[in-house]
Structure 1
Amino acid sequence: SEALPLEEAINDVMVTYGVSERTKYRAVVYYLLTKRFGREEVYN
């Protein structure tokens, strides 16, 4: 299933962002996921 790599990436992003950080901004999470999957060129 393709959900597993995504779930793993989301968990990694949450650790990077800071699990204790109560306010998480969606744009930051999307940015970190984009970096995680190496898809920055989509936005250039």
Structure 2
Amino acid sequence: MRRFLLLYATQQGQAKAIAEEICEQAVVHGFSADLHCISESDKCEK
């Protein structure tokens, strides 16, 4: 199964719902998605 990273950002929840639907459809097509909200990710310092 091929994997990919799916990042989303949302204020009212619509983007999260769409991202979750993409994840579900990805499985049907032989993919596995790692779903992450950008606002919940740790900031990295360079």
TM-score, structure 1 length as denominator?
0.41
Q: Which structure: greater helix fraction?
A: 1
Quick one: higher RCO (CA 8 Å, sep 6+), 1 or 2? 2
Report the structure number with the largest CA radius of gyration: 2
Q: Which structure: greater strand fraction?
A: 2
